[in-house]
Amino acid sequence: DTVAMADLVPTVVNTLEMLKKKALEKEISLDYTVPEETAPVFAVLHQIKQVVFNLVDNAIKYTPAGGQVHVSLKQDPNWLVLTVADTGIGIPAEHREKVFERFYRVDKARSREAGGTGLGLSIVYEIVQRHGGQIFVEDNDDGIGSRFVVKLPLIPEAEAAQSVNKN
Ligand code: ATP
Ligand code: MG
């Protein structure tokens, strides 16, 4: 696994374009608000791809037809912030921490129907930890559906300049 100092915009956009078809098949609109470019983070790009894929895959899976999934990427002074919001079934407050555990599923019967193993979010959690980031889930706006928020640390300017000099 190669850690690269990278702008994540192309990776995020490619992954979303890949998932458009899956969303369309379920009559869910998948759109995104992403800047032209962002400051770099230290990242393993295929792992970041996995994070976006697993979160959006869930958003599509747990949102009924006619719903919406919106992804955004933003930069604040210290973090790169990725959000995946859906208008789906939501996650009751008492389950919000546990969904990141391996094999944990909120509604066992319904999840079995939906397919999968209950590992997607535990993998996401692990990757985010390895990148020095944070992840949590909250209610989407108006309390309909959920919003997953991933924060990845931006590289402090001095450190970024140093790594550029080394290469
Ligand atoms: P897998 O990802 O392995 O195919 P999975 O989707 O069930 O299976 P996770 O991605 O780890 O497993 O998610 C764990 C559980 O969290 C899900 O079973 C579901 O109950 C809940 N969950 C995850 N994402 C959402 C979401 N966007 N909306 C509602 N519930 C969700
Ligand atoms: Mg999943």
The ligand placed nearest to the CA atom of residue 84 is 1
Q: 58 C-alpha to center of ligand 2: Å?
A: 5
Encode the chain (167 residues) as per-residue pLDDT tens digits: 899 999 999 999 999 999 999 999 999 999 999 999 999 999 999 999 999 999 999 999 999 999 999 999 999 999 999 999 999 999 999 999 999 999 999 987 666 677 788 999 999 999 999 999 999 999 999 889 999 999 999 998 778 788 776 65
What is the four-CA torsion angle of 146, 134, 152, 102, rounded to 10 degrees? Answer: -80
Complex ipTM more than 0.95, yes or no: yes
What angle separates helix 45-61 from helix 120-130, to the nearest 10 degrees? 150
Residue reference for tokens 């969303």: 23
Determine phi and psi for 48, rounding to 5 degrees.
Answer: -65, -40
Between the CA of 120 and the centroid of ligand 1 the distance, in Å, is 7
Q: Is the CB of 59 under 6 A from ligand 1?
A: yes
Q: Is 106 left (phi over 0), alpha (psi -120 to 50) or beta?
A: alpha
- In terms of pTM, does the model score above 0.90? yes
The rounded Å distance from CA 121 to ligand 2 centre is 6
